[in-house]
């Protein structure tokens, strides 16, 4: 029996299976985005984007 739960990555918005990434709270971040986040330096232009996306998670949960 295949149990492929499909989830949407909060960062890139792509639909993946649950095994292709990690969950933070109830949100999902795919492997490629997680890898990119780990590599992302504070000085990297993408960093504010990631923080913005992560803030949305906490804002939603606090609402």
Beta bridge partners of 27: 24
Residue 28, both tokens: 């999902």
CB atoms within 10 A of CB 46: 13
Check binding of 54 to Zn ion (CB under 5 A): no
Q: Return the range that interacts with Zn ion (CB under 5 A); candidates 33-41, 42-50, 53-61.
A: 33-41
Check binding of 12 to Zn ion (CB under 5 A): yes
Burial of 32 (0-12, 13-18, 19+ CB in 10 A): middle
Least distance CB 37 / Zn ion (angstroms): 9
Using the rule CB under 5 A, which residue among 7, 28, 33, 53 binds Zn ion?
A: 33
Check binding of 57 to Zn ion (CB under 5 A): no
């Amino acid at each position: 029996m295949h149990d492929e739960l499909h989830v949407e990555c909060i960062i890139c918005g792509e639909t993946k299976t649950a095994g292709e990434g990690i969950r933070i709270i109830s949100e999902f971040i795919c492997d490629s985005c997680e890898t990119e986040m780990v590599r992302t330096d504070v000085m990297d232009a993408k960093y504010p984007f990631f923080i913005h996306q992560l803030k949305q998670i906490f804002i939603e949960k606090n609402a």
